[in-house]
A and B are shown apart, each in its own frame.
Chain A
Amino acid sequence: MDQNEYLNRLVEEFTKKQGNSESEKNEFIKILKLLMVVDEKENSEIEIINLITNQNDK
């Protein structure tokens, strides 16, 4: 189990406790990981909003 898998499991336990569905869990971990690599820079807020609202997928 590496750190990535550990984080996945952690989120899995958390979302299970929250009563979230499988797709909600996948969405949360996906966004969380993307947000964790967002650099601190100008306009990073817009990048964060886009990631959370899946604007980048469209």
Chain B
Amino acid sequence: MINNLSYKVIKQPNTISEQTFYPNKAFTDFIKVNKSNILVIKASNSSGKTYILEMLAFAFFGLELNKNDITESLQRRLKYLVDETHQTFEFEISIIDPDGSIIDIKYNKESKIPIIKKTSNKTVTVLTKEMFLDEYKLLFDVPENPLDRIFQVTKSIKDYNSNLLHQLNPLDLKIGRILHSIRDERNEKLITELKDRIEIKQQSLNSYSEKKNNANNILQDIENAKNLVALKKNIIDKEDNLKKLNEATNNFNRLKKPDLVKNDVKSNLKINEIKIKIKELNLKYSIKSLEDKIKDNEFSSDIIKSLPEYDSNSFNILYKSSENINSYIENNEVDEVAKLLRILNHIKDNSLNNYFNNLRVDFNGENYYLIQNLIKDFQKYELEENSIFEEIFNKQVSNILFDLKEKEKKDSKILRVNELEKELNKIISDIIFKLNNSKKLSVDLFKELGKNSSLPLEDRKYNSSKNELSSLTESKSRLQSNFQKIRNELESNEISLNKLDSIESIDEILRPLNLKIRQFSGNEIIEIDKLKSEIKQFEHLATQMKNEIIEDKIKLKIENDKMSSSFSMHKDKLTLFSSKLTHFIKYLHQNNSLINDDGELNGKEVELNMAYIKLIGEFVASTMGNKIIYQNESLEIEYVDYSTKTPCFVTVQGKRIAFPDFSGGQASSNYLKSKLNINDNKKYIVLFDEIANMDNRSLNEVIDKLKILNENKKLLLAILAEPHKEEKEFIINGY
């Protein structure tokens, strides 16, 4: 409230136009008796009301207000006030602060600036401009173009945003620097991750080993059963062979050895030479190798399963021919050889070719090479902690690499498929080549044998008996070697040799074994291939897992050996906060750019930021006390909707009132209210001039808002002025 106010204004001093003005007596009389903080002056022109407002505005540093807080016309008026070329003035004002202290302001030509003294509990403090502006806020305004100026509130939000950014940007940089300085320290999180990863991989490795052992056990049982059956057959064949050999030996011994003529010797030598050449072709071995390769590879069971019946039969004919191939050639069985050549060409060009082409469709080679390149690239950043990977891929580099390596494992099959195809084609081409060569040897042998057929019958019998004896002896040796081979295999599969002497003892071992593997009965060969393939796969996975464990252990050691400080323990938390802060700054910056320098909202981006636009609207509505006057009615508003081309107030009931729908007085009232923010920490000095466009209701709304400020001890003084049409009238009302 005003305790005392006096001033003296001399216009055009020291000229013939000199005039002196003092405060209106009605005003000074009024403040002597009325102690209201809120005054409304209704006075005729030139009655001094504007002087009072301007004097107070000047006293409270109105010239220091920035251009957003004072209109150009009011600023000009204050500058005219202090322009000594046309007038001089001096004043003394005393006001009581809501906290009970007294503020005395004195100004004269000599003092240059208003001197403000605050007396509280008999202690006098001279307030500097800064001290004063820290505690008080001057609102000196004329509600001209009030609606347009509501945009100043949005502009003030932009200023606050900029202020926030000004504070947060250096903070963000500082945290970034902190993170950079602890980048090379021990990463406890990575250490824990590596330890966990090693443990998980070790479990996988154990599981692979267990699965491999199980498969091995089943395979051993099936192979043992198969070998025991073969051993039984071998024992029977050996007995049969021994019987035939004895008979053949007896027969041979009874025959007379023919006299050798030179020519026969020569022919026999040639025959032996050709036979050696046929043996040297090693066709039996080549066909056996092909069979082994087809039956013993990673894809064996798949190849066998996928072959059509015709192809499957062709393979079986080829495998069986290994035993007879030399005999076909030696006996010049041209049809058999031609049949084998047909089969081989079919297998090569159709069966295997189709199979491998289909397999290649399943494993994408291009993906495999892409994955290999990606692994190389990601490995470069494996030990770096960079949040960008987590932001983009939602996982750490080590996890990305793990996934890529799993994929690589799967797709690396393409390489093994190509390699297998190449090997098989090589073996088949080799057999075809040898078979073609064998044709000539076959013809030559046939010719030489033809020469021998001219020998006498006795001699031919002798030769035939000798050949039979030689063949049976060879069989005996082959059976014996096979016998040893099977026994060795059984022994290596943990079956004691002393139990393999007789068919009965073999049956004794075989019976429980057959029971154990009866589920595979009839499919033993397929099962063996399947198990071998599984074992190979588990071995492959186990090797890979072992390598990965070694890799992780090395990484763990490297990380473990690094230095550590107490800060690096919190690296993750710091990184997370830093990332969040950076994003928040970006978000704030983005939102702030929605408001242009005039406090208007940039239309294009509005739709993308509805939540923020609503927040601005709520902020502006709150500055008006969430109330507006519209058509003589006080409405409670929730927010101002800036998202539409024409902004509008939105009531709590959802009613929309566009800005241009207000009358000037209502708009002025709403605007003035918006300037009185109860949440501001400072105490207000409110000087509103030219409020005549407001009717009583609109004016009362503003007064009510001022009363709330007053009740909250946030109002130092409020003077509202309007012209009166009657001359020499000076009416004051206190609230």
Nearest first, the 3 closest Cβ-Cβ pairs linking A and B are A2-B679, A1-B622, A53-B570
- Least distance between B335 CB and chain A CB atoms (Å): 78
Known A11-B584, A36-B168; judge A52-B175 contact (CB<8 A).
Answer: yes
Please give me the residue from chain A that is nearest to B678 by CB atom.
Answer: A2
Interface size on B, residues (CB 8 A): 32
What chain A residues lie within 8 Å of B160 (beta carbons)?
Answer: 3, 6
Q: In the complex, which residues 23-58 of chain A have their Cβ closer than 8 Å to any Cβ of chain B?
A: 28, 31-32, 35-36, 38, 44-45, 48-49, 52-53, 55
Known: A1-B679, A14-B587. A48 touches B175 (CB 8 A): yes
The 0/1 profile, CB within 8 Å of A marked 1, for residues 560-596 of chain B is 0000000100100110010011011001100100000
> Among residues 154 to 193 in chain B, which have CB atoms less than 8 Å away from a CB atom of chain A?
157, 160, 164, 167-168, 171, 174-175, 177-178
Min Cβ gap A38→B in Å is 8
Please tell me which one of the listed residues B573, B583, B612, B622 contacts residue A52 in the complex, with CB atoms under 8 A apart. B573
Q: Kindly identify, within residues 1 to 28 of chain A, every residue whose CB is under 8 Å from any CB belonging to chain B.
A: 1-3, 5-7, 9-11, 13-14, 16-18, 28
**A28 contacts B580, C-beta separation under 8 Å:** yes
| A49 x B178 contact (CB < 8 A) | yes
- Contact B583–A18 (Cβ < 8 Å): yes
Residues of A within 8 A of B425 (CB): none
Q: Assess A10 versus B588: contact at CB under 8 Å? Given A3-B160, A49-B570, A52-B573.
A: yes
* B618 in contact (CB, < 8 A): yes
CB distance from A54 to the nearest CB of B (A): 8
Contacts of B177 in A (CB 8 A): 45
Q: Using an 8 Å CB-CB cutoff, how does the interface string of B407-422 with A read, 1 for contact, 0 for none?
A: 0000000000000000
Is the C-beta of B680 less than 8 angstroms from some C-beta in chain A? yes
CB-CB under 8 A from A48, the residues of chain B are 171, 174-175, 178
Instruction: A55 to B573: give the CA distance in the assembly, Å.
Output: 12
What chain A residues lie within 8 Å of B584 (beta carbons)?
11, 14, 28, 32
Question: B618: which A residues are within 8 A, CB to CB?
Answer: 1, 9
CB distance from B23 to the nearest CB of A (A): 37
CB A1 to nearest CB in B, in angstroms, measures: 4
Q: Kindly state whether residue B260 has any CB partner on chain A within 8 Å.
A: no
Q: Residue on B with the closest CB to A9? A: B615
Closest to A5 in B: B679
Contact B587 A32 (CB under 8 A): no
A-B contact pairs, 11 of them (CB 8 A): A1-B619, A11-B584, A13-B611, A18-B583, A28-B580, A32-B581, A36-B168, A45-B174, A52-B570, A52-B573, A53-B570
Bound complex: CA A33 to CA B157 (Å): 18
Chain B proximity of A3: nearest CB distance (Å) = 6
For A55, the chain B residues whose CB sits under 8 A away are 570
Which one of B168, B611, B622, B623 has the highest number of Cβ atoms from chain A below 10 Å of its Cβ?
B611
Interface of B toward A, CB cutoff 8 Å: 157, 160, 164, 167-168, 171, 174-175, 177-178, 567, 570, 573-574, 577, 580-581, 583-584, 587-588, 591, 611-612, 615, 618-619, 622-623, 677, 679-680
| Complex: A55 Cα to B441 Cα, angstroms | 93
Whether A49 lies near B615 (C-beta < 8 A) is no
CA–CA, A44 and B160, complex, Å: 25
Tell me, rounded to whole Å, the shortest Cβ–Cβ distance linking B338 to chain A. Answer: 75
Give bound CA distance, A16 to B615, whole Å.
Answer: 14
- A13 near B619 (CB under 8 angstroms)? no
Q: Which residues of B contact A13 (CB under 8 A)?
A: 611-612, 615
Query: In the complex, A11→B580 CA distance in Å?
Result: 11
Verify A49–B567 contact, CB threshold 8 A.
yes
Instruction: Knowing that A13-B615, A14-B588, A55-B570 touch, tell me 19 more A-B residue pairs with CB under 8 angstroms.
Output: A1-B619, A1-B679, A5-B679, A6-B615, A7-B164, A9-B615, A10-B588, A13-B611, A14-B584, A16-B611, A17-B587, A28-B577, A31-B577, A35-B171, A36-B168, A48-B171, A52-B175, A52-B577, A53-B574
**Would you call B168 and A53 a contact (CB within 8 A)?**
no
How far is B610's CA from A16's CA once the two chains are assembled, in angstroms? 13
Whether A49 pairs with B622 at a CB distance below 8 angstroms is: no
Which residue of chain A lies nearest to B588 when distances are taken between CB atoms in the complex? A10
